[in-house]
């Protein structure tokens, strides 16, 4: 890029800076001009602005006063990726980028003493040339950045939060900082399923998912050094790119989880509790962790009738129904390894899904019960 400063030009700018410090005037006898900045598009959302020492990625067209183009990042199909304010750019560009927002468009008019000076650049930029740059900023980050997490929606009831070692299922939209989409789970017909904190995800996502509740929506902004770094990924994520993910957490469990029981209503005078081998009749609503209903006995207007503790139902339900009283209402949360596992079942229960059953026990008995007369 022509915006990278040759050594000779760097020396020239040092001399010019000294001249300005001594009150040097322009050839016309007036004070030296500064960069002229025309902000002709300012985005509505401006979460941060360019500061000295930031790493930026931007496109530009460079022209002379008569409109003749001398350089363009678009022609090379390559963004400029560089640190601002440390002498790697001509002084006029360093100054012109300061305070800029992602997706902002500026026209910078750079006078000769802040560009290539009285020497110019052989064959490309004549001496004492005023330079015009049309710039659009696409990315900005700093080596001191951390993962930025914004909670967009948090459900009122949070049974558990994501921890390292948990297995999660979530939907996501992934974009670059300028809004360019590079990937989405919604187009793939299923959630993204993985372990957290085990090296399966980029480091920034591992950090950004921690503490999430099922049903929560988050915006996670990840700097490049916690994402795909200097190499990028394939053709969709360029080098040095900040990534933005909009996440909807569907499900979370840990391989060590057991069945969780919550008594919602316990009738008075419970004389007997269900044990393995009992025959039980009960109603239920079955849902996924995000509240999606997958089955209900009420919709069939008929109880579910079965033996418990005999392997006729999923292991988690076998465990969860034991100890219940007639008339009791309880919530049974079953991890996938005690339900339908990695494969799921049918088209309503996906693989690795936690199942939640709200159960109403109607009655139960045991074939060995003594008939009371």
Catalytic residue among 60, 101, 167, 294: 60
CB 189 within 8 A of CB 206: no
The rounded distance, in Å, linking the Cα atoms of 323 and 303 is 19
Catalytic residue among 54, 82, 90, 172: 90
Active-site option among 58, 101, 132, 133 = 133
Decide if 147 contacts 226 (C-beta within 8 A).
Answer: yes
Residues whose CB is less than 8 angstroms from the CB of residue 18 and which lie 6 or more positions away in sequence, other chains included: none
116 counts as catalytic: yes
Determine contact, residues 87/114, Cβ cutoff 8 Å. Answer: no
Backbone angles phi, psi at 83, to 5 degrees: -90, 140
Q: HEC profile for 265-326?
A: ECCCCCCCECCCCCEEEEEEEEEECCCCEEEECHHHCCCEEEECCCCCCCHHHHHHHCCCEC
Q: Who contacts 259 (Cβ-Cβ below 8 Å, separation ≥6)? A: 316, 319, 320, 332, 333, 334, 335, 338
User: Can 133 be counted among the known catalytic residues?
Assistant: yes
Query: Is 128 marked active-site?
Result: no
Q: Count other Cβ atoms within 10 Å, centred on residue 272.
A: 12
Active site residue 60: yes
Identify the active-site residue in 55, 58, 101, 116: 116
Q: Is 90 one of the annotated active-site residues of the chain?
A: yes
Q: Which of 34, 37, 70, 128 is catalytic?
A: 70
70 is a catalytic site residue: yes
Catalytic-labelled residue, pool 54, 71, 94, 139: 71
Catalytic residue positions, numbered:
60, 70-71, 90, 116, 133
């Amino acid at each position: 890029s022509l915006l990278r400063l040759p050594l000779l030009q760097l020396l020239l700018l040092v001399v010019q800076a000294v001249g300005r410090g001594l009150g040097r005037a322009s050839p016309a006898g007036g004070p030296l001009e500064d960069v002229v900045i025309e902000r002709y598009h300012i985005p509505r959302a401006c979460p941060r602005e360019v500061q000295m020492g930031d790493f930026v990625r931007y496109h530009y067209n460079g022209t002379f006063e008569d409109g003749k183009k001398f350089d363009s990042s678009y022609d090379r199909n390559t963004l400029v990726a560089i640190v601002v304010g440390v002498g790697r750019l001509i002084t006029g560009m360093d100054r012109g980028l300061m305070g800029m927002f992602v997706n902002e468009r500026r026209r910078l008019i750079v006078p000769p003493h802040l560009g290539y000076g009285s020497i110019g650049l052989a064959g490309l930029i004549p001496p004492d040339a005023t330079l015009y740059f049309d710039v659009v900023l696409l990315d900005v980050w700093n080596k001191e950045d951390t993962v930025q997490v914004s909670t967009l929606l948090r459900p009122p009831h949070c049974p558990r939060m994501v921890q390292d070692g948990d297995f999660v299922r979530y939907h996501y939209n992934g974009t670059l900082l300028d809004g360019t989409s590079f990937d989405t789970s919604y187009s793939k017909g299923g959630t993204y399923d993985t372990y957290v904190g085990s090296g399966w995800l980029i480091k920034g996502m591992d950090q950004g998912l921690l503490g999430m509740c099922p049903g929560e929506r988050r915006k996670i902004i990840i700097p490049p050094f916690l994402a795909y770094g200097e190499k990028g990924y394939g053709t969709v994520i360029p080098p040095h790119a900040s990534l933005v993910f909009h996440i909807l957490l569907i499900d979370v469990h840990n391989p060590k989880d057991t069945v969780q029981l919550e008594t919602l209503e316990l009738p008075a005078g419970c004389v007997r509790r269900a044990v393995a081998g009992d025959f039980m009749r009960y109603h239920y609503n079955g849902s996924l962790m995000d509240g999606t209903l997958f089955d209900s006995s009420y919709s069939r207007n008929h109880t579910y009738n079965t033996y418990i503790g005999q392997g006729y139902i999923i292991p988690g339900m076998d465990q969860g129904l034991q100890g219940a009283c007639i008339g009791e209402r309880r919530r049974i949360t079953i991890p996938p390894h005690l339900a339908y596992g990695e494969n799921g079942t049918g088209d309503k229960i996906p693989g690795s899904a936690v199942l939640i059953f709200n159960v109403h026990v109607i009655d139960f008995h045991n074939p060995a019960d003594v008939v009371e007369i």
